[in-house]
Structure 1
Amino acid sequence: MRRNMDVFRVGLFLLIIGGVSAQVQLEPQNAAVLRGSKAHFNCSTTQSLSVMTWIVNGRLVLTILEMGVLNSTERFSARNLTTPGNYKWEFTISTVQRDDAGEVTCQVLGGDPRIATLSVQERGNVEIIGGNRTEIEGVQMELECQAIGWFPKPNVSWSINGLSMGNCNSSSIAQGNLFNSNCSLKLTAVKNSSVQCFVSVPALSTPESSTVFLTVESTKKATIRDQTVLISVTVAFSAAALLFLLIFGIIFCCKRRKRKKSTYHDEVRRAQSQSQNRMPANVRGRDNRGYITDGRDVRDTNGGIWHTNFNKQQMPYAINNFNEDDLRKHRHATIV
């Protein structure tokens, strides 16, 4: 490790005191990459390479000697692309970060430093607000494209059925170090169309896009559709009203039948009561003719007299088989 550091220091010393006779080229002069991707730079010279250094935004990140690459890391590396008469090295920045943006310098011993510019950009999202549309023929309409989370300020353009409508003057708002942009497109509904919004930044080889489909209906077709909707709504409302009336009718009939049945029973009970009130007292509580008296008279609540004369000779069997004390007396009255 110490030997490598000594070599590195010697290389820097030679670099400082060296002449300017070596011809150095750095490509590309401007590079734009997306954050998280890789950036590649090629530095070449016509003379035999002794020392080459790479500097990013003033930081020495890599040194190349004739014997090979020093202090290579996962983020900063180089590979030899030398061909006869052309000493070339490719410098790579992996997982590019936003703070890598700026100057990238290649310095070769005996030559002037060559500086390139690195731009680190962000790809966001794009969407046409509202999605697919259905409009009546001849209607003036407006579509809005929204680009969220881009850096730098993105370019927004439209196309209809593949025909470019050119860039639009979008309004952009910076949120932190990102941009949100909106762009509107005004058009007349003429025929069914595919409408696309394209959003791009220099680091993108292919723009991001959002697509919606415009369906155009003739006035006659739109009128028929409106009438169909109206008929459907009317039928649905009528069916609901009819169902309500049917349920109400059933409930009303059930209540009326119950009330009528209750009235009938009341009338029957009232008629029976009136019939009993009109019946003579001597008829309402007549004795049961099958009743055998035991010789005593008992007056009932209606003023009638019950004769209880009992003749033992009429029931010899009962007398012979039962004691007089065990004999139970029964009175039966039939009321009509």
Structure 2
Amino acid sequence: MYVFRLGLFLLVTTVTSSQAQLQPLNAAVLRGSKAQFNCSTNQPPSTMTWTVNGRLVISISASGVLNSTDRVSVTNFTKPGDYRWEFSISNVQRDDAGEVTCQVLGGAASKATLSVQERGSVGIIGGNQTKTEGAQTAFQCQAVGWFPEPNVSWSVDGVAYSCNTSSVTQGNLFNSSCTLPVTAVKSSSVQCLVKIPALSTPDSSTVFLTVVKLAKIDQTVLIAVTVAFSAAALLFLIIYGIFFFCKRRKKKSSYQEELRRARIQSQNRTPATENVRGRDNRGHRDRHDGHTTDRVWYTNHSNKHQMPGDFFDDGHSNHSHMTML
């Protein structure tokens, strides 16, 4: 009978112990910080053990807590109907990452995963910028010394922008960079945000873009400049026209004067005798009543049309000379 009762007790204990639950199932913490897990059961366990990556780090029994260290501890938060213990690892290191288990005597182990991450630095190269309105610029963010590979994004005046991140490894850490092209429209605050699971809020770096608007020219000044330029151009055209007209007129007058001089010189070179030689002396002797009459007339070769009355139509009168013999 005693053996039966003992077997029944162990069976009930095993069933109730198998209901142990571990929270959280995935924990991501920064190196050097504290990792905490909670293990709870419906019945008070006779023995509870904790392991990290298969290494026994602490155990709990009716006699107390065993194997606790400065870095590893357990705290009892049991209350009626809820038997709960909190397991903590202080100053977490990269080799603590892995599997964490909580197990009660006779029950299955409840497992969780611990991720130990590295927090690096974040900065925007070049700092604040001042650009004219409409100009193109770019901001480059650098995240150095992170693990795992960080997620890098941008925020401009609170509006989120994603970007393509490029990363390289240095040892077991990541160096990442991301570039944001911007058109200068208005003055804005620009933030680079870097996030890893161990951070509840992303780390950020903030710079400011100052946009300078081009000064608008006063309309009156613009009109005055336009009128002055137009007047100067018109005056230049008038002066050039007068100069060209006078030069052409002078050239024409000189040409006419040269023609007149050439005509006068040509006339002066012609001798008067040539005009005399140009006439024919025709004589005719008539006899009347025993007298002989010589008739002489001159003809201008330039016009030989004979007209009645012994005249030639050359614009000159022909003279008749009578010689009495």
Indicate whether the TM-score tops 0.5: yes
Kindly report the root-mean-square deviation, in angstroms, between the aligned alpha carbons of the 2 structures. 1.5
- The whole-number CA distance in structure 2 between the counterparts of 1:91 and 1:189 is 53
**Structure 2 unaligned spans of 5+:** 1-9, 217-325
Q: Paired residue for 1:193, among 188, 195, 210?
A: 188
Give the match's secondary structure for 1:153.
coil
Could you say which residue in structure 1 is the equivalent of 2:125? 129
1:217 lines up with 2:191 in the alignment:
no
- The whole-number CA distance in structure 2 between the counterparts of 1:220 and 1:90 is 67
1:97 lines up with 2:93 in the alignment:
yes
1:183 lines up with 2:141 in the alignment:
no
Could you say which residue in structure 2 is the equivalent of 1:67? 63
Give the match's secondary structure for 1:112.
coil
Q: CA deviation at 1:67?
A: 2.6
Q: CA deviation at 1:21?
A: 4.3
Contact 1:39 1:94 in 2 (8 A): yes
- The whole-number CA distance in structure 1 between the counterparts of 2:24 and 2:171 is 29
**Structure 1 unaligned spans of 5+:** 1-14, 222-336
- The whole-number CA distance in structure 2 between the counterparts of 1:19 and 1:126 is 52
What is the TM-score when the length of structure 1 is the normalising length? 0.59
What percentage of residue pairs aligned between the two structures are identical? 68
Q: CA deviation at 1:66?
A: 2.0
Could you say which residue in structure 1 is the equivalent of 2:114? 118
Contact 1:152 1:201 in 2 (8 A): yes
The structure whose residues are more often helix, as a share, is 1
Letter of the aligned partner of 1:173 in structure 2?
Answer: V
Letter of the aligned partner of 2:109 in structure 1?
Answer: P
- The whole-number CA distance in structure 2 between the counterparts of 1:89 and 1:19 is 19
- The whole-number CA distance in structure 2 between the counterparts of 1:132 and 1:66 is 64
Contact 2:16 2:42 in 1 (8 A): no
Question: Who wins on radius of gyration, i.e. which is larger?
Answer: 2
- The whole-number CA distance in structure 2 between the counterparts of 1:90 and 1:169 is 41
The structure whose residues are more often strand, as a share, is 2
Could you say which residue in structure 2 is the equivalent of 1:84? 80
Q: Paired residue for 1:109, among 89, 105, 111?
A: 105
- The whole-number CA distance in structure 2 between the counterparts of 1:68 and 1:49 is 12
Q: How does 1:245-264 map to 2 (within 5 A)?
A: none
- The whole-number CA distance in structure 1 between the counterparts of 2:198 and 2:173 is 15
Give the match's secondary structure for 2:148.
coil
Give the match's secondary structure for 2:215.
helix
Count of residues in Structure 1 that have an aligned counterpart in Structure 2: 204
Could you say which residue in structure 1 is the equivalent of 2:287? none
1:202 lines up with 2:176 in the alignment:
no
- The whole-number CA distance in structure 1 between the counterparts of 2:129 and 2:58 is 56
Contact 1:127 1:146 in 2 (8 A): yes
Letter of the aligned partner of 1:168 in structure 2?
Answer: C
- The whole-number CA distance in structure 2 between the counterparts of 1:28 and 1:67 is 28
Could you say which residue in structure 2 is the equivalent of 1:282? none
